[in-house]
Amino acid sequence: MRTSIATVSLSGSLTEKLTAAARAGFDGVEIFENDLLTAPLTPEEIRARCADLGLTVDLYQPLRDIEAVPAEVFARNLRRARHTFEVTRRLGGDTVLVCSSVDPAAVDDDALAAAQLGELADLAADFGCRVAYEALAWGRHVSTYDHAWRIVEAAGRPALGTCLDSFHILSRGSDPRGIEDIPGEKIFFLQLADAPLPAMDVLQWSRHHRCFPGQGGFDVAGLVRHVLRTGYAGPLSLEVFNDVFRQAEAGPTAVDARRSLLTLQEEVTLRDEGMLRDEGMLRDERLPHEEATPGAESTPREEVTLQEAAGVAGPPAAAVPTGFAFAEVVTPDAEPLAGLLRALGFARTARHRGKPVDLWQQGEARILVNTGAAVRRDGTRLAAVGLESPDPAGAARRAEALLAPVLPRRRAPGDAPLDAVAAPDGTELFFCGTRPGGWRADFEDTGHAFASTDVRHIDHLALTQPWHHFDEAVLFHRAVLGLRAEDSVDVADPYGLRRSRAVSNADGTVRIALTVGAAPTDDTVHAQHIALATDDVVAAARRFRDAGGRLLPIPANYYDDLAARFEFADGELEAYRELGILYDRDEHGALRHCYTRTVGRVFFELLQRDPGHRGYGARNAPVRLAAQHAAQTHAGV
Amino acid sequence: MRTSIATVSLSGSLTEKLTAAARAGFDGVEIFENDLLTAPLTPEEIRARCADLGLTVDLYQPLRDIEAVPAEVFARNLRRARHTFEVTRRLGGDTVLVCSSVDPAAVDDDALAAAQLGELADLAADFGCRVAYEALAWGRHVSTYDHAWRIVEAAGRPALGTCLDSFHILSRGSDPRGIEDIPGEKIFFLQLADAPLPAMDVLQWSRHHRCFPGQGGFDVAGLVRHVLRTGYAGPLSLEVFNDVFRQAEAGPTAVDARRSLLTLQEEVTLRDEGMLRDEGMLRDERLPHEEATPGAESTPREEVTLQEAAGVAGPPAAAVPTGFAFAEVVTPDAEPLAGLLRALGFARTARHRGKPVDLWQQGEARILVNTGAAVRRDGTRLAAVGLESPDPAGAARRAEALLAPVLPRRRAPGDAPLDAVAAPDGTELFFCGTRPGGWRADFEDTGHAFASTDVRHIDHLALTQPWHHFDEAVLFHRAVLGLRAEDSVDVADPYGLRRSRAVSNADGTVRIALTVGAAPTDDTVHAQHIALATDDVVAAARRFRDAGGRLLPIPANYYDDLAARFEFADGELEAYRELGILYDRDEHGALRHCYTRTVGRVFFELLQRDPGHRGYGARNAPVRLAAQHAAQTHAGV
């Protein structure tokens, strides 16, 4: 019996995976779409590589969210599928996996599903391909293998069969004996996986995955309010079983824990009674300073009681930052960075009066380049962030009350006062006033003007976090700075999953993406980047390239796929392809972005964001990460 | 409001945890039993340390499985509780947590629970203590906070109150508003934790926790049989989404994957039809060679069909090893090891005719000490295992067919042939014949006799595995060697959880405990040990000590606790305490064991096992690990 393995089961670049599969004696592979998109090889080159290695391409996957949709949506889906069938043929394969839809727009109509899958299979047949339809265990309307088979049978097309996956069948507890009712020639593919049982019961959840209040999804503050109303006078005690905290250094974990309780107490005493109407297990994701002032429903007497019960005055209210004053990069050698900034259109507009710090500026984007000797051993890194604050002193007092280490003011007698604290990853956060005469007064103008105005401001910063302290970092930025946290997303790096979570203020003028690597040993854990906002990423990227800048090259497969997914204006996609610009779109608009090469631990992103788009290009991150790994491998950096 | 933290929430030794909690500004701590048992300080010393740090002891926990049990069980439970109350007072605390019972012997009888908890509270009051009764979310009969409170209320004792835990309440989706119906003075304690939501749905399970067939709990072979019966002729393809595999080196993962499929094909073709009667989601944990020969129910015709369909003749059947021929330690300096072995009663009974390898023996326990120059850079480590095999050549052929690297025969022309393969962790496995004239003939007797006969044979070997390849190691030992795998257990090390899984043959003459550290960076990952079976661990330990050997010191708190848990003969516990012998007992008998100091990466265990006891002392492992960390810290090793 022939054996095959999906590329997603192995670590590394596509060619590393193919080599490993062949060496272990597999006959073929399933090629996962992401592995193709991130590969620098064309489909024909991948086909040739497989042939050299004695591997067949047994499956290309997946096509998602195809069936049981309105006609105009299905027309778009067929267009996307056409590209997939083309790629499959170019790869030398003939079977494409189609997963049952999870699209909320899909309807529960087996006849429609069968008709559209039939049409899809006819298109596949035109390419000499066939479609293997698989029920995902969490499919919206089709989630069992027998249901998927009934639809396939109803469609009655030679090029349409079913794909069976042991995970999807056995994880639901379906009876596998019914498989024998399917004719073998209509089972186009068989995917095998095992899984630990039980994957997660409440005992496992309790013993391994608890976290400190504010780091998870429970409404702990709501529960505490109920307890305090009983007159309970004992301590608030944290009992947290967490596999990561068991490994992390005790000191920072204990500080994180106390900050969690201080924030919880603030939430308990300040929280608007009106918010408590719909209490249940799900917490409201907002912290107190993100909420409206307590409204009319709140009874002042009780507030006092709870405040007394909680026994704290609470930290000063959050002074939510309103923008980035600057990002500060420290480096032992300013030249590589200066070259990069110059090519990006920045000018060295000012120099600190007393320290070896240059201010590079373009529009409202300000980068400080610090060559102070004390920091040379750490290489080039993003060391500090200046946050514009409506109340710098108050922000610093809040940070101190919430146990952020307050940094000594590094200033000469004539310098403007600057309040600063250290974030959990060691990044220095400076609270800067928004009025003139602040930190900027310590810098003397050079008289140089910026070469371009392509860059408007800093869109966001991406800061990688120490492995054991990701939840701590998110809580810190929410509690200390008063930023909102968005959902956590998993990002596939070729060498392991990363977790990323963005924090931002309400109008998006401060955005920080917090990211953690795959494991403590992940040596890319310290790569940071500065994303620069532009109104025209194509112009900005072109100017950068024309000025001698090198953009991160993106594989052609990515653009072939984009063409099948989205409609573009004439020449638009060609420009993206030429420059290595990544693209994404949601219902709120588009995001276009590209990357410079990395200097030390720092690189830059040029980013054009449609006003409503709030994302960070998570869908493109695997492509960027694979391209960065490839660039490092080839450059030997 | 006072703040407190459970010691289990932080990493490290008890004193590290206390220091971290105090520095972060906590007012008090909950002391977790395990942290006390593993601490070298007396309860009074812990109390003093807390006082010095400005911490109060707010809770001591937990007492488990106390209530709603038959009278004679309850009498034993009270005896255990008495010790807990004593410890609590010695710690300077007054509140003890009692978790709702998970004991299968507990009955669903609230009146009985209330009566027994009342009696427990009366005993607590005698010690100036009070009992906080908490509903575990997975409690056998009491799993909700309101149920626990009804029982407390019914008991009506001043020293009995309830403990509320946000995890147990919110993880079940209980409505926390009902808390307000409890009088505050009867809420003795409040424990807070948050947790991510949803902890694990089928999507998360699918995307992060799949594994290769044979590594999880699904009956993948059963499913494949059904598919093959349809006439399916496509490939068997592995599609496994696994966070660890995404990070692990692709080469070994691919080999592991192929071995999984080869084993699966063997299982599919050989599996007794009779075994398939009760098919469902739960796999039978046995691999084919562990099973009876296919019985009368099996239809030969179909077997042939399946075999043809699977298209493999399959590897040679497993020749399950029948014992340990030897364990081989390589070392750059034989002296420390020789000293240890001499003190254990071993004698250097023979020397290899052509290599710098000594045979140390006592009873049937044989340790080879290899000072060959080629291995010096790796320090002292357990490098090879000799397995007695009924068919060494067949065992090697099976291993090779299942992709184990076959090792070149390292022998001089006159040496006996020895077949060897490498396990995934690099350990060399030699298949040794059981008849005379084998490997032993290469050794020349020294004429020394062993100094004692305390040690009978090797009871088990404990081999730590590379972090990314734990599942691979278990599958390797099951598939290649034909050993049975026991359940995976989590073991609390002070610096993170470890996972351990034992493999053994049917009569327990070959046992190997496979263990993986907390994280890839775990620097203790390579500690290995050799457990030596004795009929009288007290005599063996005493002889070792009298011969100048140093046993791992075990904290007094551990023995105080043992005294409360078990009944001992006169002087028995005192001997254990004196020598550092750990003790455990289950329905099949007792286990008594103690440890030597570590040389390089190797240490020894002396172990006395009652015939029916199949365990490895998992309950004692946290005590041993903490003691080893403490010994390293103090010795600076």
Residue A191, pLDDT score: 94
Mark B481-493 as b/e (b = at least 16 C-beta within 10 Å).
bbbbbbeebebbb
Cα B628 to Cα B285: distance, rounded to the nearest angstrom: 34
- Asked if A27 reaches chain B (Cβ–Cβ under 8 Å), the answer is yes
Nearest Cα to B162, choosing from B141, B138, B146?
A: B146
Residue A289 has pLDDT above 80, yes or no: no
DSSP B332: S
Q: Is a pLDDT exceeding 90 seen at residue A100?
A: yes
Closest CA to B256 of B463, B150, B111, B403: B403
A495 to B246: CB separation less than 8 angstroms, yes or no: yes
Q: Phi and psi dihedrals of B328, rounded to 5? A: -115, 125
Report residue A300's pLDDT band, with 50, 70 and 90 as the boundaries: very low
Which H or E run contains B517? Answer: none
Length of chain A equals 637
Q: Which residue has the tokens 């030794």?
A: B13
Structure tokens at A421: 């604290």
Q: Does domain A4-191 have CATH number 3.40.50.150?
A: no
Residue among B11, B27, B167 whose CB faces A210 most closely: B167
Report the pLDDT value the prediction gives residue B412, as an integer from 0 to 100. Answer: 59
Q: pLDDT digit string (tens) for B129-152?
A: 999 999 999 999 999 999 999 999
- Paired with A430 in beta bridges are A386, A420
Of B16, B25, B166, the CB nearest to A223: B166
Q: Quick check: A365 pLDDT over 70?
A: yes
**Which pLDDT score is estimated for B435?**
75
Lowest mean pLDDT among A307-321, B259-273, B383-397: A307-321
Q: Where are the beta strands (DSSP E) in B307-406?
A: 323-330, 347-352, 357-362, 365-370, 381-388
Q: What is the pLDDT of residue A200?
A: 56
The rounded mean pLDDT for chain B is 88
Provide the token pair at B196.
């991510």
3-state secondary structure labels for all residues of A282-347: ECCCCCHHHCCCCCCCCCHHHHHHHHHHHCCCCCCCCCCCCEEEEEEEECCCHHHHHHHHHHCCCE
How large a percentage of chain B has pLDDT more than 70?
A: 89
Alpha-carbon span A214 to A477, nearest angstrom: 11
Measured between alpha carbons, how far is B410 from B392 in angstroms, rounded to an integer?
Answer: 16
Q: Do the Cβ atoms of A192 and B137 come within 8 Å?
A: no
Count CA atoms closer than 13 A to A344's CA, side-chain side. 35
Determine the Cα–Cα distance for residues B377 and A173; give it in Å rounded to an integer.
Answer: 51
Distance from CA of B304 to the nearest CA of A (A): 14
pLDDT of B7 > 70? The answer is: yes
- What's the pLDDT tens digit per position in B590-599? 999 999 999 9
Look at the block and give the residue holding tokens 């006592």: B362
ipTM of this predicted structure:
0.81
Q: Tens digits of per-residue pLDDT, B492-521?
A: 888 888 889 999 999 999 999 999 877 666
Domains A4-191 and A323-635 share a fold: no
Q: What is the pLDDT of residues A551-603, one digit of tens each?
A: 999 999 999 999 999 999 999 999 999 999 999 999 999 999 999 999 988 99
Contacts of A519 in chain B (CB under 8 A): 247, 519-520
Distances (CA, A) of B67 to B80, B160, B390, B585: 13, 13, 52, 22
Instruction: Check CB contact of B227 with chain A, cutoff 8 Å.
Output: yes
What confidence tier does A487 reach under pLDDT thresholds 50, 70, 90? confident
Which pair of tokens denotes residue B127?
Answer: 């010690």
Contact (CB, 8 A) for A506 and A614: no
Res B454 pLDDT > 70:
yes
pLDDT of residue A288: 42
For B226, name the nearest residue in chain A, comparing CA atoms only: A180
Q: How many CB pairs under 8 A join A and B?
A: 470
Token readout for B320 is 């399950």
**What 3 state SS string does B553-609 have?**
CCCHHHHHHHHHHCCCCCCHHHHHHHHCCEEEEECCEEEEEEEECCECCEEEEEEEE
Asked whether A588 and A614 are in contact (CB, 8 A), the reply is yes
- Compute CA A386 distance to the chain's CA centroid, rounded to the nearest angstrom: 23
The pLDDT assigned to B376 comes to: 64
Chain B residues near residue A30 by CB distance under 8 angstroms: 237, 239
B165 at the A interface (CB within 8 A)? yes
Q: Do the strands A489-493 and A496-504 form a parallel or antiparallel pair, or are they unpaired?
A: antiparallel
Q: How far is B597 from chain A (nearest CA, A)?
A: 24
Residue with the bigger pLDDT between B360 and A284: it is B360
Torsion sign over Cα A81, A85, A90, A91: positive
User: What percent of chain B clears pLDDT 90, i.e. is strictly above it?
Assistant: 69
Indicate left, alpha or beta for B437 from its phi (over 0: left) and psi (-120 to 50: alpha). left
Burial of A107 (0-12, 13-18, 19+ CB in 10 A): middle
Radius of gyration of chain A, Cα coordinates, nearest whole angstrom = 27
- Evaluate whether B250 touches A12 at the Cβ level (below 8 Å): yes
C-alpha B555/C-alpha B224 separation (Å) is 53
Distances (CA, A) of A45 to A15, A21, A97, A557, B144: 11, 17, 22, 12, 61
Q: Are B387 and B434 in contact (CB under 8 A)?
A: no
pLDDT of A307 higher than 90: no
pLDDT at residue A66 is higher than 60? yes
Q: What's the pLDDT band for B197 if we cut at 50, 70, 90? A: confident
Q: What are phi and psi of A41, to 5 degrees?
A: -90, 145
Give the pLDDT confidence score for residue B496 in this predicted structure: 84
- Break chain A into its structural domains and give their ranges: 4-191, 205-310, 323-635
Pairing of strands B56-63, B95-99: parallel
Contact A532, A344 (CB under 8 A): yes
Confidence of residue A418 (pLDDT cuts 50, 70, 90): confident
**pLDDT score recorded for residue A414:** 65
Q: What would the mean pLDDT of B458-480 be, rounded to a whole number?
A: 91
Binned at pLDDT 50, 70 and 90, residue A172 comes out as confident
**pLDDT value at B297 more than 60:** no
Cα B62 from chain centre: 21
pLDDT > 90: what percent of chain A? Answer: 69
- Residues B567-583: what's their mean pLDDT? 97
Chain centroid to Cα A274, Å, comes to 33
pLDDT per position as a tens digit, A378-414: 789 999 999 999 999 999 999 999 999 988 866 556 6
Separation between Cα atoms, residue B463 and residue B469, nearest integer Å? 13
CB contact under 8 A, A172 and B230: no
Q: What is the pLDDT of residue B304?
A: 43
Q: Are A229 and A253 in contact (CB under 8 A)?
A: no
Residues of chain B neighbouring A240 (CB-CB closer than 8 A): 6, 8-9, 193
> B323-635: what CATH class?
alpha beta
Q: For the segment A424-434, what is each residue's pLDDT rounded down to a tens digit?
A: 988 999 999 87
Asked if A111 reaches chain B (Cβ–Cβ under 8 Å), the answer is no
pLDDT of amino acid B199: 53
With a CB cutoff of 8 Å and minimum separation 6, the contacts of A509 are A322, A323, A324, A457
Q: Sorting pLDDT into bands at 50, 70 and 90, what band is A637? A: very low
User: Among residues A268, A259, A474, A439, which one has the least CA distance to residue A366?
Assistant: A439
**Nearest residue to B461 via CA among B499, B505, B511:** B511
Pick the more confident residue, A197 or B294. A197
CB contact under 8 A, B166 and A218: yes
Tell me what the mean pLDDT of segment B610-615 comes to: 93
Q: How far apart are CA A595 and CA A582, in angstroms?
A: 9
Contact check, Cβ <8 Å, B200/A199? yes
Q: DSSP letter for B67, please.
A: S
pLDDT for the residue B290: 43
DSSP state for residue B398 in the 8-state scheme: H
A-contacting residues of B 471-500, CB under 8 Å?
490, 492, 495-497
Q: Give the pLDDT of residue A167.
A: 92
Q: Which residues of A touch B27 (CB under 8 A)?
A: 235
> Does the annotation place A593 within a ligand binding site?
no
Residue A290 has pLDDT above 60, yes or no: no
Give Dmax over CA atoms of chain B in angstroms: 85
**Dihedral sign (CA A308, A314, A317, A320):** negative
B212/B257 Cα distance (integer angstroms): 6
- Token look-up 């012997």 returns B105
Per DSSP, helices labelled H in A501-615 are 537-546, 556-565, 572-579
Residues 6+ apart with CB under 8 A from A287: A214, A263, A267, A478, A479, A482
pLDDT value at position A279? 35
What's the pLDDT score for residue A140? Answer: 95
Given an 8 Å threshold on Cβ–Cβ distance, is B16 in contact with A250? yes
- Give the three-state DSSP class for B460: strand
pLDDT band at B470 (very low <50, low <70, confident <90, very high): confident
Burial call A145-173: b when 16+ CB within 10 Å, e when fewer: bebbbbbbeebebebbbbbbbbbbbbbee
Question: Residue type for B350, please?
Answer: A
* pLDDT exceeds cutoff 90 at A446: yes
